[in-house]
Structure 1
Amino acid sequence: MALKAVSRLRSARWRLLSAKLIYRSCSDIPASAGTGSSSEFDTAIRSLKNNLQPERLTRVIDSTPDSSLALRIFRWASHQRYSLRTVDTYRCMISKLTAVENRDDMDSLLGEMVRLKAPALEQALNGFAGIQHATSAKLKLSLSACNAMLRGLVKQGSGLRLFMLVYMEIVKSGVLPDVETLNWLIQALCESGRVDLALIQFDRMSKKRCSPNSHTFEILIIALCSHNRADEAVDLFYKMLQLRCTLLDSVRYLEKLHNSGLVDCESWNIVITHFCNQGNIRRASELIGRMVVSSFAPDESTYSAIISCYCRLGLHIDALGMFRRVSVNDLSLNSESFSQLVEVLCHTERNPEAIEVFKYHCKRGCSLTNKSLDMLIQGSCLSGRIREAVQLRSLAVCTGTSCTFFTYDIIIQALLHLNKEKDVLVLFAQMVMEGCLLDGCAYTSLLRSFLTKETIFEAAILFNRMVNQAFFPDQETFELLVNDMALFSFLNLVAQSLLKVVNTRGTVSPRIYNIIIYGLIKEGFKNEACKFLDQMLEKGWVPDSRTHQVLVGNIGGEEAREVDQLYQTVDDDNVSNILLEELD
């Protein structure tokens, strides 16, 4: 008997599932009122009322030539207290609709029938033999009807063999699966113990242009746990989080895994971090509480995510409070959260607290971003704590934070404002030793800072270094440099660099030429002065009277004093004023 049943089932399956049905508009269905006579309907109803049995309903439907009238009768019967809906009545009605190609109602009835808890599904498949002729019309079953059929097969526990036969026929008919279709396939494989095949189908979902949803992960996670494959279940849970499935679903599955003893601290951290990234700090805080109740202690990544979220929301008081908990537990934040906390405290003018956070993490070797360090040092300098700013820079270097020129420049300007030129020289030496890279703007800014009586020699060295690296100051800085070098008789130290600037930029005025030529001759470097004189003459300019007298050697002591007075017009306060302007 069993072999005969299987044979009938297989035969019915091939006859049924080769049929290809498609949706058509409901407008193709004739209106029931226009096709079915009211008197015929009343007669059929009276007949059924006298003998309300499924077999009687089947005979009435078979004997009704009008499919619309037959559908009205079937719908009436389905609403009676005593259910007349059986596999046979559905088979009869679907066959009637197939004959007139009423695919819309046929799909609907197909879904209803498969969802019935009928004991013998093979009868249902045999009943579909009546739609075999639809194949010749190149009809295709709708996706919703296919999913309804697969759902019915899984819910009724029809077994993997029958499910796969139906699924393969659906694929052959040209119906493209969606995520629901693939979820039923994965569930059928898992329930039959083919978890590895289910995982293969999961990996192939992208090739079928489908993305797994939270239900996909739920099916697989439960199956893996039931087969004692806990590690794979946790890995799949992480993948679900990476794909950003619904966070509420992730919490639900997290609790399921926790109840099975499969989660660790990292699992909680990932979920909490996702809530923090969405700015849902309330939910993240609740999860931390549940995490603690579950005997898991929040680690550095958990606290880092929470503090980072507080900082993004501008809740610096809460962020600082969470940092206190971090320090009590002798933990540290990651570099990003650490830097964000320092920045938000600096923005809110809580520099002492920012320094506290910085020093705490420096002891643990944590590095700070350049932007955060600059804000921290600038806050100290603006409050007059220059020595503290220098110490902060040294601590940052020790923990691996690379200082940019902007960091140094903040301190340099503050030191110059306090007339601490010697300290500027020490800081500059540290810059050189630490390999701080300077661009043209940085060199120019630093050069202007060094144009003082105490650091003019270092300014000459810096200018030569600048030009050797193919950087040139702007016109204003260049003229300041020439004036100050002439004033302190240091033009000979920078003569070659000045000549490079003149040859390259070509924007030197006659006044600057005269200062350079006169100054070099005065310093005893007439050959170098002649090079600038040649440049000047090529441009069609001639030296002024004083420069001419120096060139011909006719300058006396009185004229020398007059020239000195000329250079004194670049008064001593000029450089100081420039530096003060830079600080403003």
Structure 2
Amino acid sequence: MLTNYLMGLCKDKQIPKAQNLFEEMIEKGIVPNVHTFSILIDAMCKKGMVKKAHELFDLMIERGVEPSTITYSALMDGYCFQGRMDEAAEVFHLMAVRGCEPNVINYSILINGYCKAKKLDEAMQIFEDMRSKGLTPNVITYSSIIDGLCKVGRVAAAQELFMEMQARGPSPNDYTYNILLDGLFTNGSYEEAMRLFEKMDNDGLEADIVIYSTVIDNMCKANNLDEAKKLFDSLPSKELKPNTRTFNIMIQGFMKEGLLQESENLLTEMLDKGPTPDNVTYSIMIRGYFQNNEIDKAVQLLNDMADRDFPLNATNTSSVKDLLAADGLEGKFIGLVDKILPKRQSKGSGTTVELDF
């Protein structure tokens, strides 16, 4: 009963209350079991309280409660998230010392941590050790290594692992495809990335909006705007709804080519039908107007944002300031500062929106 209550507190991220309850259990002579310890250790790690979590881990051993693979996973994950790979590895090796056989999840957590830290040699060593123990890597394990290899430019090695997945299993999922696609694009292998995308379609695998957004983004970057627009327009027929990021990509692509009307049409569509524009959307539009010398339109958009009670916060203000400096426009437009960033009253909000320099 108390364990369930503690679990609820942890899910609600009320860690201090969970800690107090745990201490009350100890004071009342209630011996927490491995499940109770693991719940609190996991919650602490997710909150970044890894030192406290490790102290609790040591306490459970002192109390004669043996950690499970779940307990070890929680503590390892906490260290990995903070990039403290030496500590994560120590916890992993402690498993063997205490006779707890690591499972696929334990190995995958450590591998992912090494990959995020760009320590691919260590990740591959753990990967091979895992397989030598007769454990079969899962999609998450492979995806972590493929992502890590792509991040350090070892795309050929990433492709080999991807082909190994296709040959032996487990089959790559959407996430794996997106990782490799992004890796190929980022490392300048545009044609290979497009072949992989086409193969995915030919194999009957349904790409999600994340993958389509990645492809559309890189089509725009490669100056294939017409193809990007065709793919964007085809999304409804595939029963896929463009998200804010997808719209932002197309808006930026049009702005880059000076196609302001097309960008404006997409923004209007977002405002009328959704998805809701975000700070990135407006930053792209404002930057595009500045770069295309459409200062009046930039001013109008700022006013429209205020009319819609869009939060013109410090980020927006800083962005506009940076536009003047980064694009070499400050010399030309410094005399128009008061016009570009007027003090005004947002309609209906009762709040003065002041974008000051």
Return the TM-score normalized by structure 2: 0.49
Return the TM-score normalized by structure 1: 0.33
